[in-house]
């Protein structure tokens, strides 16, 4: 079973918080244990733990924080930007980080084409040494200072772009929920499609997401979003968005954040109040809505502003993502459907996009 996690803020965790992701999680936890509460939560994800869990592929984000969103840690200005140039520089540091990982860690690869993808997949066959592939994903497109500059990021390996996190120069974000794409955003979509890039509708306002689903001519996904039918809120996708995404052969990745998994969950609730069964409930909702298991996967967002305290009871580190598979089997999913959810759906979407590139 090949496992794909479509959303991990690895570079953000490493560069904003000084974490050494080449060490195992337990070692990093020990080094941070003197802090009363780490601002990003108790760490769950490092390279050794991903390899231990036989995770074959992750989408590694370039996420930089707009100055307006840095209220909880105003003294930490790492990867924070106030203008386009600042966003460009900060995201460039994160992309450089991924390339260094691939240079320095023998089993890590940057995946930006079909040959690289198949090399990683083949390494997970019996008798081979499993590799970890990282597909660079830009979360929030402000680092692209002008639409035509996306080509530079493409040349450096970025293959997926989410136009918004909060509002950006290109599109409205879900947090505020006002408006769609700007003129620059429509130009960005045109150039991205010409380059064969994948567009991520996660974090877009509902209006912007529907515009992208209608207008964008390339591959389209939602790397990390849950079902609004189970947990209300603009940050989730409603049934109409999920249907429209499936019509475009898109895939949605389910987030392992308890607040997005269980209605009414608050940070004061015990970790044990949310389980892997709640993850499966979101997966099952998508499958029942669409009539198959071909358009949903994992987009955990582990260490994406929350840590061990706010993820399902059975999950200690990223190595535990495989625990979703037996929970799916218990729900009645056959082996093909389980394999699709755990990674094959993301592989299909990437293979198609890379083949058309």
C-alpha distances out from residue 333 to 77, 246, 283, 324, Å? 46, 19, 11, 12
Lowest mean pLDDT among 5-19, 170-184, 249-263: 170-184
Residue 151 has pLDDT above 90, yes or no: yes
pLDDT digits (tens, 9 = 90+) for 303-317: 999 999 999 999 999
For the segment 117-138, what is each residue's pLDDT rounded down to a tens digit? 999 999 999 889 999 999 999 9
Average pLDDT of the chain to the nearest whole number: 96
Query: What pLDDT score does 38 carry?
Result: 87
Q: Which residue in this structure is represented by tokens 């999680």?
A: 25
* Nearest alpha carbon to residue 154 among 186, 202, 198: 198
pLDDT at 36 over 80: no
DSSP state of 163: S
Dihedral angle computed from the Cα positions of residues 91, 93, 95 and 101, in that order, rounded to the nearest 10 degrees: -150
Using the structure block, give the residue that is written with the tokens 């010409």.
Answer: 194
Write out the H or E segment, with its range, that includes residue 160: strand 160-162
Lowest mean pLDDT among 27-41, 112-126, 199-213, 314-328: 27-41
Give the DSSP letter of residue 197.
Answer: P
Contact 357, 196 (CB under 8 A): yes
* pLDDT of res. 357: 63
Two structure tokens written together for 253: 């990745």
Per-residue buried b or exposed e for 254-277, using 16+ beta carbons within 10 Å of the residue's own CB:
bbbbbbbbbeebeeeeeeeebbbe
Residue 227: band (very low, low, confident or very high) from pLDDT cuts 50, 70, 90? very high
What mean pLDDT comes out for the span 250-265?
A: 98
**Spatial distance between the Cα atoms of 341 and 347, rounded to a whole number of angstroms:** 10
Give the pLDDT confidence of 195-220 residue by residue, as tens digits: 999 999 999 999 999 999 999 999 99
| 42-67 per-position pLDDT tens digit | 999 999 999 999 999 999 999 999 99
Say if residue 82's pLDDT is above 90.
Answer: yes
Q: Residue 201: how many CB atoms within 10 A of its CB?
A: 31
Nearest-angstrom CA–CA distance, 296 and 290: 10
Task: Look up tokens 């203008």; give the residue.
Answer: 83
φ/ψ of 222, rounded to 5, equals: -130, 100
Claim: this prediction has a pTM higher than 0.85:
yes
């Amino acid at each position: 079973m090949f496992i794909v996690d479509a959303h991990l803020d690895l570079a953000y965790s490493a560069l904003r918080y000084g974490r050494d992701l080449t060490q195992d999680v337990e070692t990093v936890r020990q080094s941070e244990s003197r802090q009363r509460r780490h601002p990003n939560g108790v760490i769950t994800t490092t390279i050794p733990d991903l390899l231990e869990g036989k995770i074959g592929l992750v989408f590694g984000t370039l996420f930089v924080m707009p100055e307006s969103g840095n209220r909880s840690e105003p003294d930490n200005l790492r990867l924070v930007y106030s203008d386009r140039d600042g966003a460009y520089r900060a995201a460039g540091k994160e992309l450089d980080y991924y390339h260094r990982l691939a240079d320095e860690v023998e089993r890590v690869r940057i995946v930006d084409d079909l040959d690289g993808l198949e090399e990683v997949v083949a390494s997970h066959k019996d008798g081979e040494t499993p590799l970890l592939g990282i597909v660079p994903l830009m979360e929030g497109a402000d680092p692209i200072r002008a639409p035509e500059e996306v080509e530079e990021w493409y040349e450096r390996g970025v293959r997926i772009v989410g136009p918004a996190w909060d509002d950006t120069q290109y599109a409205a974000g879900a947090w505020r929920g006002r408006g769609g794409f700007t003129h620059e955003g429509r130009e960005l979509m045109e150039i991205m499609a010409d380059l064969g890039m994948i567009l991520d509708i996660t974090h877009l306002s509902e209006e912007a997401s529907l515009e992208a689903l209608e207008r964008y001519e390339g591959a389209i996904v939602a790397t990390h979003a849950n079902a609004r039918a189970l947990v209300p809120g603009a940050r989730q996708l409603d049934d109409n968005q999920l249907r429209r995404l499936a019509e475009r052969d898109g895939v949605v990745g389910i987030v392992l954040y308890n607040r997005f998994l269980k209605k009414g969950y608050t940070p004061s609730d015990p970790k044990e109040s949310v389980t892997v069964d709640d993850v499966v409930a979101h997966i099952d909702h998508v499958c029942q809505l669409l009539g198959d298991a071909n358009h949903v996967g994992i987009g955990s967002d582990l260490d994406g502003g929350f840590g061990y305290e706010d993820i399902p009871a059975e999950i200690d580190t990223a190595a535990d993502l495989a625990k979703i598979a037996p929970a799916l089997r218990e729900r009645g999913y056959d082996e093909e459907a389980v394999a699709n959810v755990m990674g094959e759906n993301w592989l299909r979407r990437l293979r198609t996009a890379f083949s058309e590139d």
